[in-house]
């Protein structure tokens, strides 16, 4: 059994990004390579995520802009901020930090982001591009999972992959990316019948449901690759994933731990996407 080291892959990827950013700067460039984070309200978990994103930008030499808006902001307030960032040439990419306050229409706001600056891959335009096999800015978490699979040289073609969870942010793009690499993909959700039967035949299982230690050893076959996207708390309040790691690990050929698996890749792919967005609009 091999543990997939997300910290290692993230560090190597960031090193590569920092090198590329430094090269672009040394050649002289007419705009900043910049990421804007729009943070509406004061969700405490988001505070941590936002800080990590800003820190990651600093680490690789990308400029960051934190646009903090109060909880009671109107749709127009947020829309105006997005529009200003759309117009700002020094902002290569932007993200709307989720969740946003309930009175705001999330999908409508997201779709105001210019697709070329949608570094979270969450606008309808970028999702459509991914779904139809065009070049796209890919949602950061599933993109990070693909990087991990590739770093470890895990073969994908013709293999049975099961994704549990069908969110727009993780499950659906994950299934699409595996399909693009010629896996035979089954996408499961809370109404799936006989989930255990489905997962037991999978060569690769990706779990993204938000239920602590949900996937047990009797749900995976010997030698399976298990990728745990979950970020949950166990009965003692300790960070854990959707996979019961202690139970499942011995059966796997590869497994991601939580923490230190998929998590470090998400922010890394956000900065990778920001660089890609800059380059694809460079003159
Ligand atoms: P989400 O939007 O809440 O979606 C959860 C999905 O899981 C839904 O499709 C739901 O099915 C399905 N589901 C729930 N219970 C299930 C069950 N018992 N059996 C089968 N399917 C079930 O969640 P998300 O945003 O995709 O996030 C999933 C997890 O990943 C969370 O723990 C989140 O914190 C974590 N996450 C981690 C990162 C990272 O960087 N590591 C990034 C993003 C998310 P229905 O559609 O039928 O309701």
The pLDDT tens digits for 21-41 are 999 999 887 799 999 999 999
CA quadruple 127, 149, 117, 60: dihedral, nearest 10: 170
Q: With CA atoms as reference, report the closest residue to 139 among 108, 167, 160, 109.
A: 167
Measure the CA angle with vertex 17, ends 15 and 21; round to 5°: 120
The pLDDT assigned to 283 comes to 62
Q: CA 51 to CA 248: how far, in whole Å?
A: 33
Ligand 1 center to 208 CA (angstroms) = 4
The CA distance from 119 to 167, in Å, is: 17
Q: Whose CA is nearest to atom 39 of ligand 1?
A: 263
Residue 142 CA to residue 173 CA, distance in Å, equals: 7
Q: State the burial class of residue 180 (Cβ atoms within 10 Å of its Cβ: 0-12, 13-18, 19+).
A: middle
Residue 199 CA to ligand 1 centre (angstroms): 16
Residue nearest to atom 17 of ligand 1 (CA): 190
Distance 235 CA to ligand 1 centre (A): 19
* Kind of pairing between the strands at 204-207 and 239-240: unpaired
Set 5, 97, 242, 276: catalytic member = 97
Omega into 88 within 30° of 0, i.e. cis? no
Backbone Cα Rg of the chain: 19
**What per-residue confidence (pLDDT) applies to 216?**
98
Instruction: For ligand 1, atom 47, name the residue with the nearest CA.
Output: 190
Determine the Cα–Cα distance for residues 187 and 238; give it in Å rounded to an integer.
29
Please give the full DSSP string across the chain, using - where no structure is assigned.
Answer: -EE--HHHHHHHHHHHHHHHHHHHHHT--SS--EEEEEEES--HHHHHHHHHHHHHHHHHT-EEEEEEE-TT--HHHHHHHHHHHHH-TT--EEEEPSS--TTS-HHHHHTTS-GGGBTT--SHHHHHHHHTT---PPPHHHHHHHHHHHHTT---TT-EEEEE---TTTHHHHHHHHHHTT-EEEEE-TT-SSHHHHHHT-SEEEE-S--TT-B-GGGS-TTEEEEE---EE-TTS-EE-SB-HHHHGGGEEEE--SSSSSHHHHHHHHHHHHHHHHHHT--
CA 263 to ligand 1: nearest atom: 41
Q: How far is the CA of 191 from the centre of ligand 1 (A)?
A: 13
193 as an active site residue: the answer is no
**Positions in the chain short of pLDDT 50:** none
Atom of ligand 1 nearest to the CA of 144: 40
Q: Say which of 5, 117, 118, 120 is annotated catalytic.
A: 120
* CB-based contact 31:90 (threshold 8 Å): yes
């Amino acid at each position: 059994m091999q543990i997939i080291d997300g910290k290692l892959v993230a560090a190597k990827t960031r090193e590569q990004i920092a090198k590329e950013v430094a090269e672009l700067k040394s050649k002289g460039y007419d705009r900043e390579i910049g990421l804007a984070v729009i943070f509406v309200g004061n969700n405490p978990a988001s505070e941590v995520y936002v800080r990590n994103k800003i820190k990651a930008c600093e680490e690789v030499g990308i400029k960051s802009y934190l646009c903090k808006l109060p909880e009671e902001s109107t749709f127009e307030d947020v829309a105006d901020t997005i529009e200003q960032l759309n117009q700002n040439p020094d902002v290569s990419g932007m993200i709307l930090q989720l969740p946003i306050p309930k009175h705001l229409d999330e999908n409508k706001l997201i779709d105001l982001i210019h697709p070329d600056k949608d570094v979270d891959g969450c606008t309808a335009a970028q999702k459509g591009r991914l779904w139809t096999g065009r070049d796209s800015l890919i949602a950061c978490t599933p993109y990070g999972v693909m990087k991990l699979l590739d770093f470890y040289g895990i073969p994908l073609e013709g293999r049975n992959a099961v994704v549990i969870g069908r969110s727009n942010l993780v499950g659906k793009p994950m299934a699409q990316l595996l399909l693009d690499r010629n896996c035979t993909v089954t996408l499961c959700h809370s109404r799936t019948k006989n989930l255990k039967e489905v997962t037991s035949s999978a060569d690769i299982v990706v779990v993204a449901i938000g239920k602590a230690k949900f996937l047990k050893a009797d749900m995976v076959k010997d030698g399976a690759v298990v990728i745990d996207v979950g970020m949950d708390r166990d009965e003692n309040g300790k960070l854990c994933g959707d996979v019961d790691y202690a139970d499942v690990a011995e059966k796997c050929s590869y497994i991601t731990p939580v923490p230190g698996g998929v998590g470090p890749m998400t922010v890394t792919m956000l900065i990778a996407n920001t660089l890609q967005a800059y380059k694809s609009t460079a003159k």
